[in-house]
Amino acid sequence: MVKKDLDWVTQNWESDGCDLWEEVRSNDFFWGRSSFVFALNNAADFCDSIGDSCGQNYRSVAGNITNAIRKHWTGNFIYESENRDKDGSVIHAIASFGKYLFKSSSNEAASTVNVYNKVFCEEYSINQQDNKNGVPGVLYGRYQNDSYAGGNPWPLLTAGLAELFYNAANEVYDQVKSDPNFKLGAEHNKWLEVLNLENGISAMDLVKGHMNAGDAVMSRLWKYVKNDDGRVDEQIGKSSGVQVSAKGLTWSYANILHALHTRKSVQKKMGLNGDDM
């Protein structure tokens, strides 16, 4: 069954389809194509492990798709599609599937987060109020001028942003562990700017900066869901701060748990426990 699905992807990845939110159509969504690349590369690795030659085709098609979506980097941010440029699904894609193209620790990811931070801070009054009051973090939603159920921040996308930060910490930490003499270079400059870190800091300072940024995002999310007995809904009212729309959305729980497990994994790798950072 899995092979049948993957074979369909290899033959139809350029076909027209709908976006993650089932609202607009295109044959070139960043989120969709990133998921294809991730799935096909993982399938290729599995095929290799069992001595099946199918991996060669999967890896080849994944390479073709990767080359096709490089153009989504504008030089300033990564866009979702030509008819929906700034979309939170891009952040979700980098966090979930960025291993094979734009990693979470990349300058491209940093620039995209920088642009999207401004978009969603301008979009939601509760972000503006929290920023004014010095509350760390930011809430993300789907896109500018979203009208579905009021067009609000989404916990699942906010958690995706936090996971992106934790992934970035993990990637830089792995570089440090593999090379004791590893130093930050030009490829890290944009993240230093986005995280308000000074030039000349150590790689481990950048790791901590990423972790702290992820914690800030999760803390702001927690502020708005903590009083609902563990229930996390689809959206958070952009003015009221009250949870709204689909109640107890499975996707919200999944992304929050995934972000927390990623955080825990990085902390364990670093020899830290609990809130140590």
Shortest CA distance to 34 belongs to which of 51, 56, 19, 54? 19
pLDDT in tens, 187-223: 999 999 999 999 999 999 999 999 999 999 999 999 9
Q: In the chain, what percentage of residues exceed pLDDT 70?
A: 98
- Model confidence at 87: pLDDT above 60: yes
Measure the CA–CA gap between 70 and 57, rounded to whole angstroms. Answer: 20
Residue 84's alpha-carbon distances to 80, 88, 105, 142, in angstroms, are: 6, 10, 24, 10
The pLDDT score that the predictor gives to residue 180 is 83
Domains of the chain: 1-101 (no CATH), 103-277 (1.50.10.10)
Provide mean pLDDT across the span 55-72: 97
- Model confidence at 141: pLDDT above 60: yes
Token duo for residue 59: 């890896």
Q: Backbone phi, then psi, for 264, in 5-degree steps?
A: -60, -40
Q: Tell which phi-psi region holds residue 18, choosing left (phi > 0), alpha (psi between -120 and 50) or beta.
A: beta
Provide mean pLDDT across the span 21-27: 97
pLDDT in tens, 253-272: 999 999 999 999 999 999 87
Provide mean pLDDT across the span 128-135: 97
The pLDDT score that the predictor gives to residue 189 is 94
Give the CA diameter of the chain.
58
User: Long-range contacts for 121-127 (Cβ within 8 Å, ≥24 apart)?
Assistant: 123/151, 123/238, 124/152, 124/153, 124/238, 124/239, 125/238, 125/239, 126/153, 126/224, 126/236, 126/237, 126/238, 126/239, 126/240, 126/241, 127/153
The helix-helix angle for 125-132 and 203-225 (nearest 10°) equals 120
Provide mean pLDDT across the span 70-92: 97
Helix H or strand E segment including 25: strand 25-26
Measure the CA–CA gap between 157 and 152, rounded to whole angstroms. Answer: 11
- Model confidence at 273: pLDDT above 80: no
- Give the count of beta carbons closer than 10 Å to the beta carbon of residue 122: 11
**47: amino acid identity, one letter:** C
- Model confidence at 167: pLDDT above 70: yes
- Model confidence at 276: pLDDT above 60: no
The pLDDT score that the predictor gives to residue 237 is 98
Residue located via tokens 């590369």: 41
CA 53 from centroid of its chain's CA atoms: 32
Measure the CA–CA gap between 14 and 24, rounded to whole angstroms. Answer: 16
The pLDDT score that the predictor gives to residue 59 is 97
The pLDDT score that the predictor gives to residue 275 is 58
Provide mean pLDDT across the span 103-117: 98
The pLDDT score that the predictor gives to residue 178 is 94
